[in-house]
Amino acid sequence: MRTILLAALPVTAMTLIFGFVVLCDRLREPHRDPTRPMAVVDARTYRDAQRRIERLIEAGDTMRARHLMHAICLWLRDEVHTGRQSRRANRAADLEQWELRLEQIPLPIG
Protein backbone atom coordinates (compact mmCIF):
# COMPACT_ATOMS: atom_id res chain seq x y z
CA MET A 1 0.00 0.00 0.00
CA ARG A 2 2.85 2.34 0.84
CA THR A 3 4.38 1.78 -2.61
CA ILE A 4 1.15 2.82 -4.31
CA LEU A 5 0.96 5.99 -2.22
CA LEU A 6 4.57 6.86 -3.01
CA ALA A 7 3.93 6.29 -6.71
CA ALA A 8 0.77 8.43 -6.70
CA LEU A 9 2.36 11.34 -4.81
CA PRO A 10 4.25 12.94 -7.76
CA VAL A 11 1.25 12.64 -10.06
CA THR A 12 -1.04 14.15 -7.44
CA ALA A 13 1.39 17.00 -6.80
CA MET A 14 1.69 17.77 -10.53
CA THR A 15 -2.10 17.71 -10.90
CA LEU A 16 -2.55 20.13 -8.01
CA ILE A 17 0.11 22.52 -9.31
CA PHE A 18 -1.25 22.45 -12.86
CA GLY A 19 -4.81 22.94 -11.61
CA PHE A 20 -3.73 25.92 -9.51
CA VAL A 21 -1.96 27.53 -12.48
CA VAL A 22 -4.99 27.05 -14.73
CA LEU A 23 -7.31 28.45 -12.06
CA CYS A 24 -5.13 31.54 -11.59
CA ASP A 25 -5.01 32.10 -15.35
CA ARG A 26 -8.79 31.82 -15.69
CA LEU A 27 -9.40 34.20 -12.79
CA ARG A 28 -6.90 36.76 -14.10
CA GLU A 29 -8.22 36.89 -17.69
CA PRO A 30 -11.05 39.43 -17.15
CA HIS A 31 -8.59 41.83 -15.50
CA ARG A 32 -5.85 41.69 -18.12
CA ASP A 33 -5.11 44.67 -20.33
CA PRO A 34 -7.34 44.26 -23.39
CA THR A 35 -4.85 46.11 -25.60
CA ARG A 36 -2.15 43.45 -25.40
CA PRO A 37 -1.75 41.24 -28.48
CA MET A 38 -3.60 37.95 -28.60
CA ALA A 39 -3.41 34.91 -30.86
CA VAL A 40 -6.46 32.77 -31.67
CA VAL A 41 -5.35 29.14 -31.90
CA ASP A 42 -8.13 27.04 -30.38
CA ALA A 43 -11.70 27.15 -29.09
CA ARG A 44 -10.68 28.56 -25.70
CA THR A 45 -8.71 31.47 -27.16
CA TYR A 46 -11.58 32.01 -29.62
CA ARG A 47 -13.99 32.53 -26.71
CA ASP A 48 -11.47 34.76 -24.92
CA ALA A 49 -11.04 36.82 -28.10
CA GLN A 50 -14.80 37.30 -28.41
CA ARG A 51 -14.96 38.68 -24.88
CA ARG A 52 -11.93 40.87 -25.47
CA ILE A 53 -13.43 42.31 -28.67
CA GLU A 54 -16.50 43.39 -26.73
CA ARG A 55 -14.27 45.09 -24.15
CA LEU A 56 -12.25 46.84 -26.86
CA ILE A 57 -15.34 48.10 -28.67
CA GLU A 58 -16.79 49.41 -25.41
CA ALA A 59 -13.50 51.22 -24.78
CA GLY A 60 -13.59 52.70 -28.30
CA ASP A 61 -10.43 50.94 -29.52
CA THR A 62 -11.78 49.76 -32.87
CA MET A 63 -8.37 49.26 -34.48
CA ARG A 64 -7.29 46.60 -31.97
CA ALA A 65 -10.76 45.06 -32.16
CA ARG A 66 -10.40 44.80 -35.94
CA HIS A 67 -6.97 43.16 -35.58
CA LEU A 68 -8.44 40.59 -33.23
CA MET A 69 -11.38 40.01 -35.60
CA HIS A 70 -8.87 39.31 -38.38
CA ALA A 71 -7.15 36.76 -36.12
CA ILE A 72 -10.50 35.08 -35.46
CA CYS A 73 -11.30 34.96 -39.18
CA LEU A 74 -7.91 33.42 -39.99
CA TRP A 75 -8.39 30.71 -37.39
CA LEU A 76 -11.95 30.00 -38.50
CA ARG A 77 -10.86 29.68 -42.15
CA ASP A 78 -8.52 26.87 -41.11
CA GLU A 79 -11.15 25.26 -38.87
CA VAL A 80 -13.72 25.12 -41.68
CA HIS A 81 -11.63 22.39 -43.31
CA THR A 82 -11.06 20.16 -40.27
CA GLY A 83 -13.13 18.14 -37.83
CA ARG A 84 -16.66 16.78 -37.91
CA GLN A 85 -19.04 18.05 -40.56
CA SER A 86 -21.38 19.64 -38.00
CA ARG A 87 -18.45 21.49 -36.42
CA ARG A 88 -17.25 22.61 -39.86
CA ALA A 89 -20.73 23.96 -40.61
CA ASN A 90 -20.83 25.83 -37.28
CA ARG A 91 -17.37 27.29 -37.89
CA ALA A 92 -18.37 28.35 -41.42
CA ALA A 93 -21.44 30.14 -40.04
CA ASP A 94 -19.28 31.81 -37.38
CA LEU A 95 -16.78 32.86 -40.04
CA GLU A 96 -19.53 34.45 -42.12
CA GLN A 97 -20.82 36.37 -39.09
CA TRP A 98 -17.35 37.61 -38.15
CA GLU A 99 -16.60 38.73 -41.70
CA LEU A 100 -19.86 40.68 -41.77
CA ARG A 101 -19.13 42.20 -38.39
CA LEU A 102 -15.63 43.14 -39.53
CA GLU A 103 -17.11 45.05 -42.46
CA GLN A 104 -19.47 46.92 -40.14
CA ILE A 105 -16.73 48.20 -37.81
CA PRO A 106 -15.40 51.41 -39.38
CA LEU A 107 -11.69 51.99 -39.84
CA PRO A 108 -10.40 54.67 -37.47
CA ILE A 109 -9.30 57.84 -39.27
CA GLY A 110 -6.16 59.61 -38.24
Q: What are 74-87's pLDDT values in tens digits?
A: 999 999 999 899 99
Q: 19 and 38 in one domain?
A: no
Q: 26 and 38 in one domain?
A: no
What range does the domain containing 16 cover? 1-31
pTM of the model as a whole = 0.74
Taking the alpha carbons at both ends of the chain, their separation in whole angstroms is 71
Q: 79 and 108 in one domain?
A: yes
HSE, CB side, 13 Å, CA atoms: give it for residue 11.
5
Q: 95 and 73 in one domain?
A: yes
Q: What's the mean per-residue pLDDT of the chain?
A: 90
Report whether pLDDT(110) > 70: no
**What is the residue-wise DSSP string for 9-69?**
HHHHHHHHHHHHHHHHHHHHGGGS-TTS-----SHHHHHHHHHHHHHHHHHT-HHHHHHHH
